Amino acid sequence: MTLTEVMVSLLLSSLLTLALVSLFVSARRSSLQDEQLATLQEVGRYALSFLSRELEMVGFMGGFDQVEVIDNAALVSADQSTLTQDSCLALLLDGQAGVTHFNNVNEFGQETDHLGQSTGRSLPSDCNLGYRRLVKGSDVVVIRRVKDHSIQERGFSTDNLVPWAVYLSFSDLSGPAVMHRGSDLNAVTALQSRSPQRELETWEFAPQLIYLREQSDVLCTDQGAPPPELCRIRLKQSGYGLSPPQCLVDGVERINITFGIDNDRNGMVDQWADVPPTALAAPIRSAAVDLLVRSAVLEPHYSDPKIYLLGRDVYDPIQDGVACTEHHRRTSFHTAVETRNLWSLRP
């Protein structure tokens, strides 16, 4: 074999090797992209399903639709050592409001308008968010409702009440109604004495504060920006007060919620609002949820050129202020749900 033939053979071998390597890299990149897109779909569908279910049931009080007359004096008395007017616990235990919504919070939980200016509303300072910053520009929502089934469906006895759990008890749909701890049998006895039939409906109260937080104070590393976490705070399941944060899934980058308001009470949505009214005269008929989900893997050669419209908010990843976030893949999700609580449907 001559030198020329050897050189030609080496050249052909090199070209073939280069083609195989390029094919492998392309296949690997395509596989990674498909895997990320599948993960985004899974995360987005889970988060959308969770939020839709909670917003659909917002304000559900076991069929009791006169929420403005719920008596929580016994509950406040039992928790007076920790329950102050501006505490996080008081925020969750406000049984006369089905939902509290903070629009476009900053990293410290202060609500801002579409220009980034403070509105004066904020989360209570004692909310334990896990010592992490909130995701700037996302929404925070407090959803208050009872659990799906009454205590009576499982066989009711005051001995079966969990001492530290919060319950809503009422004699009939027109009242009276009392919110109380399971250990406060005096409240139950007093309510029974006021009921002609001495029969009660008792439901466990299960409010939760839902928010997004950053996983790390370092928002951009060589591996990319760690995706935010979708978390919630509930009442303690084995004691008094609030539970530590429970994070459900990571990858949700933005939550935007708008509410359909029936101002003239004709059963139709007249107005979409970022912050729902507190007056019962204008019930919430529906809620629209927009989510933006972000991948966890940094792709240096990929840049997200899209601008996302989430409700009435515009989000541009390139203008996010975190240089590496534009190199992550994103998918947006949207749905609208109709509220099914009697409070919002009351004529």
List, for residues 130-168, the tens digit of each pLDDT value.
678 899 899 999 999 999 888 876 555 666 788 888 988
Q: How many domains does the chain have?
A: 2
> 322 in helix, strand or coil?
coil
Locate 15 and state its tokens. Answer: 């070209």
pLDDT of residue 313: 86
Rounded average pLDDT over 313-327:
80
Mean pLDDT for all residues in the chain = 81
Q: Which of 176, 205, 234 is the last residue of a domain?
A: 205
Confidence class for position 215, pLDDT limits 50, 70, 90: confident
Q: Are residues 200 and 265 in the same domain?
A: no
Whether residue 2 is contained in a domain is answered as: no
Q: Which of 170, 187, 205 is the last residue of a domain?
A: 205
C-alpha 90/C-alpha 87 separation (Å) is: 5
Instruction: Report which of 28, 69, 60, 34 is spatially closest to residue 146, judged by C-alpha positions.
Output: 60
Range of the domain at 284: 39-59+129-140+208-345
Q: Are residues 192 and 300 in the same domain?
A: no
Q: Which of 188, 205, 222 is the last residue of a domain?
A: 205
Convert 274-311 into a string of H (helix), E (strand) and C (coil): CCCCCCCCCCEEEEEEEEEEECCCCCCCCCCCCCEEEC
Whether residue 225 is contained in a domain is answered as: yes
pLDDT of residue 86: 67
Model confidence at 234: pLDDT above 70: yes
The pLDDT tens digits for 15-49 are 777 766 666 666 666 666 667 788 899 999 999 99
Lowest-pLDDT range, 94-98, 157-161, 182-186, 227-231?
157-161
